[in-house]
A and B are shown apart, each in its own frame.
Chain A
Amino acid sequence: MITFDHVTKRFDDGTVGVDDLTLEVPEGEVVVLVGPSGCGKTTTMRMINRMIQPTGGTLTVDGQDVMTVSPPQLRRRIGYVIQQVGLFPHRTIAENIATVPELVGWDKARTQERVKTLMATVGLPDSVANRYPHQLSGGQRQRVGVARALAVDPPIMLMDEPFGAVDPIVRSRLQDEFLRLQLQVRKTIVFVTHDIDEAIRMGDRIAILSEGGKLEQYDDPERLLADPANEFVADFLGAERGLKRLALIPVSEVSAEPGPVVSPDDDRGNAAEVARSYGTDWVVVVDEQRRLRGWVSLHELDGRIADANLRQFALSVESTDSLRAALNAMVTSRTGVAVRLSEGGLYEGIITQELVSKEIR
């Protein structure tokens, strides 16, 4: 656990980098520091391993005041990942990952074993072990940076825009892998970014800072989006706040409606009645095994449904998908609804825009 108790950083020229910050980073959680440039988020992070010295207040790591520990000793217990990665160009990938184990005096066999394990953990092929950093892609270098920071299995990790220097596709993949990895390792992580979407995606909690290191709000992403503390936070979250929230809410949070369902054996008469009771001009066709066959418009229906030309839903959602995915399915279907299927692909019902907006209002 990391605690900031009225921590202040005043630089030599008098500017205040961080102003009276009180904040708690709970064990095993990812706390994202986010804000516009100049908001002191990196300064805040770098005070934890004393790359920057706090000038006021108390900053403790696992109950110990950081000012009472020598910086190198403190830093060896804290993993450190920076945007430019900072791999040593004159050392191989394996040697780079082995840096901290060697500093703390692990023997060769243990270090080698650990390097091997870590490379697998972060998804690096064995073949890069003896390569040099300039021979790797940006994404691979970031993985090496994470592996290096994890080397002696520190309980705490500091990550300063770790995915900022790679292209969006690689970034998104690294974010997914990071979240999967975090489920296994459960580190206490302080993560700095200027990208609110990344913050929402990665953070268990988000601290929004404004210029001069003022803490504007500290909450979990869902509450932050639902209830911004002030105009600064609302502005920073952006105009698509509602959509961002939808991305955090699983489909299972809303109960699907049964929908205007008919069976392939029904005819136009039944279909028209079902549709009318739902206020639609189309029906969903589901067979006896609850398998979704498609949908059909009343205008294109005469006679038996089995003979009709059924249309397919291009997209469907499952309970674990987000409401944002459901909304996407709605706007891409002419029916204006999203169908929800079970994991086994069986029909569970429909989700309408009313259901979604009721959830976030």
Chain B
Amino acid sequence: MNVLGGILAWFADPTHWSGADGVPVRVAEHLGYCLLATAVATLIALPLGVILGHTGKGGSLAINVSNAGRAIPTFGIVLLAFLVAGAGLLPITVALVLLAIPPILTNTYVAVRGIDRELRDAAEGMGMYGWQVVRQLEVPMAMPLIMAGVRTSAVQVVATATLAAYVTLGGLGRYIFDGLGQRVYAEVAAGAILVAILALAVEFGLSKLQTAVTARGLRSTQRDDPLAAKATAAPA
């Protein structure tokens, strides 16, 4: 049986679509890990990025530290956390959160820092307190770029969450690791394809969310609108 035929047969097999090891359950588990990690990373990186960007202090240090963290292989972090904390959600979540923080943190900081000086000047000159400048000007203005960071993180997290299976958890990684263990390569490939599809779906879903949370006035794609240009050129 050729490789493609094997993969198609795997997908066609109804037993792969039900039960605890069925695709729906594995997708749900996978999404669960990703949602948890991305949400925790956002809750850490977004406020931190906004504060650093607002005050303009210590920003490049924080970004360099968080980026340097990416040099450590996620696989290594998963194993290390597994050894320290044992089985469970914690090791994989810690690893995925560390992976997800830098893009969100960097984008948030850069976006808030990059807001035109005269806008901040006008906001303060009209009598806004610092938190009002954050809430009414900086966050809405930075939103497109923040969401671009969340998208980048989420897609990376979806791809990397396969490691959960390595530390006894479920998710789409199960197919990859089990398939490798049993030398059922069609299952490995099916797992990989499912991860890719899920990543694209997450990317698509978040791009819709990005549009929804971006203020209408910033949605223009006019050439002479620097903000629109900035939002599309999202740095990693």
A-side interface residues toward B, CB under 8 Å?
A: 49, 51, 71-76, 80, 82, 84-92, 99-100, 103-104, 132-134, 148, 158
Given contacts A90-B217, A132-B216, contact A80 B126 (CB under 8 A): yes
Q: How far is the CA of A88 from the CA of B124 in the complex (A)?
A: 12
Residues of A within 8 A of B132 (CB): 103
* Residue among B121, B222, B225 making CB contact with A86, cutoff 8 Å: B121
Given contacts A91-B217, A103-B132, A132-B220, contact A86 B119 (CB under 8 A): yes
Given contacts A89-B218, A92-B217, A134-B220, contact A103 B127 (CB under 8 A): yes
Residues of B within 8 A of A103 (CB): 126-128, 132
Please state if B125 and A132 are interface contacts (CB–CB under 8 Å).
Answer: no
Please state if B141 and A99 are interface contacts (CB–CB under 8 Å).
Answer: no
Please state if B140 and A90 are interface contacts (CB–CB under 8 Å).
Answer: yes
Please state if B126 and A90 are interface contacts (CB–CB under 8 Å).
Answer: no
Please state if A75 and B124 are interface contacts (CB–CB under 8 Å).
Answer: yes
Q: How far is the CA of A91 from the CA of B227 in the complex (A)?
A: 14
Q: How far is the CA of A79 from the CA of B122 in the complex (A)?
A: 10
Please state if B126 and A76 are interface contacts (CB–CB under 8 Å).
Answer: yes
Q: How many residues of B contact A (CB 8 A)?
A: 26
B-side interface residues toward A, CB under 8 Å?
A: 116, 118-119, 121-129, 132, 136-137, 140-141, 215-218, 220, 222, 224-225, 227
Please state if A91 and B125 are interface contacts (CB–CB under 8 Å).
Answer: no
Q: How far is the CA of A148 from the CA of B122 in the complex (A)?
A: 10
Residues of B contacting A: mostly: helix
Known: A80-B125, A103-B127. 6 other contacts (CB 8 A): A72-B127, A72-B128, A75-B126, A76-B126, A82-B125, A103-B126
Please state if B126 and A51 are interface contacts (CB–CB under 8 Å).
Answer: no
From B218, which residue of chain A is reached at the shortest CB distance?
Answer: A90
From B227, which residue of chain A is reached at the shortest CB distance?
Answer: A89
Q: How far is the CA of A158 from the CA of B124 in the complex (A)?
A: 14
Given contacts A82-B118, A86-B121, A90-B140, contact A99 B126 (CB under 8 A): yes
From B139, which residue of chain A is reached at the shortest CB distance?
Answer: A90
Please state if B124 and A51 are interface contacts (CB–CB under 8 Å).
Answer: yes
Given contacts A90-B215, A132-B216, A134-B225, contact A100 B122 (CB under 8 A): no
Residues of A within 8 A of B218 (CB): 89-90
Please state if A90 and B141 are interface contacts (CB–CB under 8 Å).
Answer: yes
Smallest CB-CB A-B distances: 6 pairs? A86-B122, A90-B215, A76-B127, A75-B127, A132-B217, A80-B125
Q: List 20 A–B pairs whose Cβ atoms lie within 8 Å, in order of A's numbering.
A: A71-B124, A72-B129, A73-B127, A75-B127, A76-B127, A80-B125, A82-B121, A82-B125, A85-B122, A86-B122, A87-B122, A88-B122, A88-B123, A88-B136, A88-B137, A89-B141, A90-B216, A132-B220, A134-B217, A134-B220
Q: How far is the CA of A85 from the CA of B122 in the complex (A)?
A: 8
From B144, which residue of chain A is reached at the shortest CB distance?
Answer: A90
From B225, which residue of chain A is reached at the shortest CB distance?
Answer: A134
Residues of B within 8 A of A158 (CB): 125
Q: How far is the CA of A113 from the CA of B217 in the complex (A)?
A: 23
Please state if A49 and B217 are interface contacts (CB–CB under 8 Å).
Answer: no
Please state if A84 and B118 are interface contacts (CB–CB under 8 Å).
Answer: yes
From A73, which residue of chain B is reached at the shortest CB distance?
Answer: B127
Q: How far is the CA of A158 from the CA of B141 in the complex (A)?
A: 26
Q: How far is the CA of A133 from the CA of B220 in the complex (A)?
A: 11
Please state if B127 and A100 are interface contacts (CB–CB under 8 Å).
Answer: yes
From A148, which residue of chain B is reached at the shortest CB distance?
Answer: B126
Q: How far is the CA of A232 from the CA of B42 in the complex (A)?
A: 59
Residues of B within 8 A of A73 (CB): 127
